[in-house]
Chains A and B, each alone.
Chain A
Amino acid sequence: AQSVTQLGSHVSVSEGALVLLRCNYSSSVPPYLFWYVQYPNQGLQLLLKYTTGATLVKGINGFEAEFKKSETSFHLTKPSAHMSDAAEYFCAVTKGRAAGNKLTFGGGTRVLVKP
C-alpha cells in the first residue's frame, strides 16, 4: 500500500522568499509522484509529476520537485514566492506502471504568502 506524509499543515512565507513544501512517501513498488494545487473554491490542478527519467521535475508557475529514492522524498520548491501562490498543496502517489488512476494524497499544506 502507498502512503504520503506532508510535513507541516500550514506554511507561511514572505513574498519573494523560497517556498519549500515537504513530502515523504511509502510505496512497495516504484511510485509515480505528483504535486497538485487547490485554490479556494476550486478543484485540484496538476503542478508537476515524476514518473521515470530525470529526478528533477519542473512544473508550472515556477515550481519544481526532486525525487530522492534514498530519502523517499519528493519535496516541492519555488525560489521566489508570489502572492498568487497562496493555496493548498497536495502531494500524491500512485503505483507505478499499474492500471488505474487511484491517487493516494497527503494531508495537504496550506501556504500563506505575506506581503
Chain B
Amino acid sequence: KAGVTQTPRYLIKTRGQQVTLSCSPISGHRSVSWYQQTPGQGLQFLFEYFSETQRNKGNFPGRFSGRQFSNSRSEMNVSTLELGDSALYLCASSSRDRTNEKLFFGSGTQLSVL
C-alpha cells in the first residue's frame, strides 16, 4: 500500500506570492491533517479534514486555508506569503477522525520564502 504522498517536495517562493501544497492520503483513509514544522516553533497543528469537512483548525491566520476532495486528497493554500512561512509542511492521514488513531505522515513539503 502506498504511503502518504506530498507534492512538491521542495518549493521556493517570494514574499507576497501564494502557494498550494498537495497531499494524497493512504488509500481508504478519510482523515487528513496538516502540520507546520519550524526550528523555532516546532510542530504546530494547522487543520484537519474528514470526509471533505474541516473538523479542527489551529491558531494560524486566515492566509492559511485548506480543502479536501471527494477522493480524500487534500490541498493547503497559503496566500500573501511571509518570510516566517518558511517551514516543512507535513500532511498526515488516518482511517478515522478519532484521537486515538495512528497518524501516517508524509515526508513533507519544504517551503522556502525569499
Contacts and interface: CB of A to CB of B under 8 A. Distances in A.
Interface of A: 32, 36, 41-46, 49, 51, 90, 94-108
**Residue from the set A36, A42, A101 with the largest chain B CB neighbour count within 10 Å:** A101
A72 to B, nearest CB: 18
Contacts of B45: 102-104
Interface of B: 4, 31, 33, 35, 42-45, 48, 50, 55-56, 58, 90, 92, 94, 97-103, 105-108
B43 A43 contact: no
A61 to B, nearest CB: 15
A101 B61 CA distance: 20
- The binding surface of chain B is classed by DSSP as strand
Nearest to A105: B43
Nearest to B110: A41
Contact of B101 (A97, A101, A105): A101
Contacts of B98: 99-101
Contact of A102 (B4, B42, B58, B108): B58
A32 B35 CA distance: 19
A102 B100 contact: no
Given A99-B55, A102-B48, A108-B42, A43 B99 contact: no
A49 B100 CA distance: 8
Contacts of B31: 101
B103 A107 contact: no
A84 B100 CA distance: 27
A60 to B, nearest CB: 11
A101 B107 contact: no
A47 B45 CA distance: 19
Contacts of A106: 42
Contacts of A95: 99
Contacts of A43: 4, 90, 92, 105-108
A99 B99 contact: yes
B59 to A, nearest CB: 11
